[in-house]
């Protein structure tokens, strides 16, 4: 393996520049948020002085040939958004590590990390001739572990009491690796994920209106149609899905023994249908319309599904229980044996929304008096939600 040197790596989205002391202020600005250092104390950007000391320490390792330190630039905004390094350089055994990575919270779960890792991995395998690239993170840092797993790496295990932290505690470290003969497939998957991510950004810029969100939360049992399956009857499953408003995703779980579980791997393409309520509208329900009709609410979603690491089961199940139980039943109040058995027998998954179609057929083009007349009948039938949706912006009519 070649000795890595200070070099600028760039693509359309991200540029990695050799770190210098001139970037200290930008480095400090990118790392001020306490959340950045939750799993890697001490807080290296607690002040401009601590940031300067850490950069100087890193540059001293660079001068010794032990590391290569980069600043991460977002090409679209021109902002310095974080830092990363090559470290644990082993020329004899052709091994190298990507580490010391932090990204400003505003740019986490965006295009930054995937593109930065693509640049670093490509250079390591294709230019330096690395045989093995490893990445490490805190055992409990689930967000980081999930991000590393998405690179196509293999989880190798936990290094127990691996590092003494500034808090006086020892850190257990999760170790991942990627080998040169695995790189081509991992690279293809990573590039495809980056391309899909560009579409996801466009989706996230769209506003999902309150009516759609209300429907998904009121009628969470969704029909999930999984692509790439020969038998149509075998690729349809009904599961409750929780809408994550922060990330714009849908999450759920299913049994590990479910025969459709293998179909949800490898970014499976899925169509999700939320079946809202509906009602037959008789001519007797209003005075001016003589033709009977049907009103309904449906939401169709196209997206991709991925299974989450088992470590996420507890977190996701907690959120689902909070959503559906309304505080009547809490996981932490149940016997540990029961909960452990439950967690061992499920797999949680996440669906990224790439396209959303709202199919609401209401009489909202009718005069308000007509809509009020229909809403009154719906309310009399106990269909309060549909009545409110039917009235649209005139919901104040409902007492």
29-67 pLDDT, tens digit each: 999 988 888 888 889 999 999 999 999 999 999 999 999
**pLDDT (mean) for 316-325:** 83
Asked if 196 and 267 count as a contact pair (C-beta separation under 8 A), the reply is yes
Report the C-alpha gap between 194 and 36 in whole angstroms. Answer: 23
**pLDDT (mean) for 326-333:** 80
pTM: 0.54
Report the C-alpha gap between 389 and 370 in whole angstroms. Answer: 14
**How many Å from the N-terminal Cα to the C-terminal Cα in the chain?**
74
Of 271, 267, 260, 273, residue with least CA distance to 234 = 260
Other beta carbons within 10 angstroms of residue 374's beta carbon come to: 23
Asked if 144 and 137 count as a contact pair (C-beta separation under 8 A), the reply is yes
In tens, the pLDDT along 5-18 reads 999 999 988 999 99
How are strands ordered across the β-sheet holding 14-18? Answer: 9-10, 14-18, 68-74, 80-90, 95-103, 132-138, 170-179, 154-164
Residue ranges of the domains in the chain? 9-202, 207-361
Highest mean pLDDT: which range of 199-213, 227-241, 320-334: 320-334
- 227 has pLDDT over 90: no
At 307 the three-state DSSP class reads strand
Asked if 96 and 130 count as a contact pair (C-beta separation under 8 A), the reply is yes
- What CATH architecture applies to the domain 9-202? 3-Layer(aba) Sandwich (3.40)
Highest mean pLDDT: which range of 115-124, 233-242, 244-253, 319-328: 115-124
* 123: its two tokens: 């250079």
Report the C-alpha gap between 295 and 297 in whole angstroms. Answer: 7
pLDDT-derived band at 246 (thresholds 50, 70, 90) equals low
What pLDDT sits at residue 290? 66
What pLDDT sits at residue 394? 44
Report the C-alpha gap between 393 and 371 in whole angstroms. Answer: 11
Domains 9-202 and 207-361 share a fold: no
Least confident of 218-227, 307-316, 338-347: 307-316
Least confident of 72-81, 141-150, 369-378: 369-378
Asked if 389 and 362 count as a contact pair (C-beta separation under 8 A), the reply is yes
**pLDDT (mean) for 72-92:** 94
- 249 has pLDDT over 60: yes
Mean pLDDT for all residues in the chain: 86
pLDDT-derived band at 234 (thresholds 50, 70, 90) equals low
pLDDT-derived band at 398 (thresholds 50, 70, 90) equals very low
What pLDDT sits at residue 285? 63
Fold of 207-361: Pnp Oxidase; Chain A (2.30.110)
Asked if 220 and 242 count as a contact pair (C-beta separation under 8 A), the reply is yes
In tens, the pLDDT along 143-198 reads 889 889 989 999 999 999 988 887 888 989 999 999 999 999 999 889 888 876 65
């Amino acid at each position: 393996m070649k000795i890595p040197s200070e070099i600028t790596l760039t693509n359309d989205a991200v540029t990695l520049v050799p770190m210098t002391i001139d970037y200290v202020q930008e480095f400090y600005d990118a790392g001020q948020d306490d959340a950045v250092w939750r799993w890697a104390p001490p807080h290296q950007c607690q002040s401009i002085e601590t940031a300067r000391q850490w950069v100087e320490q890193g540059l001293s390792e660079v001068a010794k040939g032990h590391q290569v330190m980069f600043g991460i630039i977002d090409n679209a905004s021109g902002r310095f958004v974080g830092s990363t390094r090559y470290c644990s350089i082993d020329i004899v055994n052709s091994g190298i590590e990507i580490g010391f990575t932090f990204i400003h919270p505003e740019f986490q779960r965006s295009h930054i990390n995937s593109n930065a890792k693509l640049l670093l991995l490509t250079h390591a395998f294709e230019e330096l001739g690395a045989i093995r690239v490893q990445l490490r993170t805190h055992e409990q840092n689930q967000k980081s572990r999930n991000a590393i797993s998405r690179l196509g790496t293999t989880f190798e295990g936990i290094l127990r009491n691996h590092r003494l932290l500034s808090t006086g505690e020892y850190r257990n470290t999760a170790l991942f690796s990627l080998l040169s003969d695995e790189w081509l497939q991992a690279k293809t998957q990573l590039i495809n994920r980056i391309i899909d991510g560009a579409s996801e950004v466009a989706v996230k810029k769209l506003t999902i209106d309150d009516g759609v969100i209300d429907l998904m939360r009121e009628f969470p049992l969704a029909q999930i149609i999984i692509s790439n399956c020969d038998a149509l009857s075998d690729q349809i499953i009904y599961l409750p899905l929780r809408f994550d408003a922060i990330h714009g995703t849908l999450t759920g779980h299913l049994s590990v023994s479910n025969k459709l579980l293998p179909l949800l791997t490898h970014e499976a393409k899925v169509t999700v249908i939320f079946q809202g309520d509906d009602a037959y509208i008789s001519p007797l329900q209003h005075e001016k319309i003589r033709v009977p009709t049907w009103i309904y609410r449906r939401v169709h979603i196209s997206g991709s599904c991925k299974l989450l690491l088992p470590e996420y089961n507890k977190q996701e199940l907690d959120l689902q229980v909070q959503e559906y139980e309304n505080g009547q039943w809490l996981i932490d109040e149940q016997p540990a044996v029961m909960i452990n058995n439950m967690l061992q027998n499920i797999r949680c998954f996440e669906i990224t929304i790439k396209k959303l179609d709202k199919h609401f057929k209401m009489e909202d083009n009718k005069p308000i008096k007509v809509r009020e007349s229909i809403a009154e009948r719906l309310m009399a039938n106990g269909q309060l939600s549909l009545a409110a949706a039917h009235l649209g912006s005139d919901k104040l009519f409902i007492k």
